[in-house]
């Protein structure tokens, strides 16, 4: 689809929080760091009744798309090397990127 940047939606093996394994899923690129690292935020098709989840609809993409209604989970973030990114599939509008960052800031301040 294109190059990796803030707001890109990528596919990656996202680790479980207990590090018992991982699952291939989409993730939102929050930051591109030195030494080929990125900060990623989990995207899932289930809302998990997560009060922090951000609904991600087709109109929220400036390029590309995901097949189904999805949810960004601002409480699920991790740093990864770009070598584990399998593919860039989409780009979200800047307002979605900012909304995600705002949610993360709220979580960290609570």
pLDDT at 2 over 70: no
DSSP label at 81?
Answer: E
Please spell the DSSP secondary structure of 54-71, one letter per residue: EEE-GGGEEEE--SS-EE
Return the exposure string of 19-58: e unless at least 16 CB atoms fall within 10 Å of the residue's CB, then b.
Answer: eeeeeebbbbbbeeeeeeebbbbbbbeeeeeeebbbebee
Note down the domain range covering 32: 8-109
User: Is 38 contained in some domain?
Assistant: yes
Q: How many domains does the chain have?
A: 1
Encode pLDDT of 46-91 as tens digits. Answer: 878 889 999 999 999 999 999 999 999 999 999 999 999 999 999 9
Phi, psi of 76 (to 5 degrees): -120, 90
User: What CATH number is attached to the domain comprising 93?
Assistant: 2.30.30.110
Q: Is residue 3 part of a domain?
A: no
Q: Would you say residue 49 lies in a domain?
A: yes
Identify whether 1 is part of a domain.
Answer: no
């Amino acid at each position: 689809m294109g190059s990796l940047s803030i707001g890109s939606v990528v596919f990656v093996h996202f680790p479980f929080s207990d590090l018992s394994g991982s699952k291939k899923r989409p993730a939102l690129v929050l930051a591109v760091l030195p030494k080929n690292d990125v900060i990623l935020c989990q995207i899932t098709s289930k809302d998990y009744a997560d009060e922090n989840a951000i609904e991600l609809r087709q109109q929220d993409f400036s390029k590309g798309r995901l097949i189904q209604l999805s949810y960004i989970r601002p409480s699920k973030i991790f740093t990864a090397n770009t070598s584990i990114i399998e593919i860039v599939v989409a780009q979200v509008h800047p307002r979605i990127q900012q909304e995600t960052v705002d949610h993360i800031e709220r979580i960290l301040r609570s």
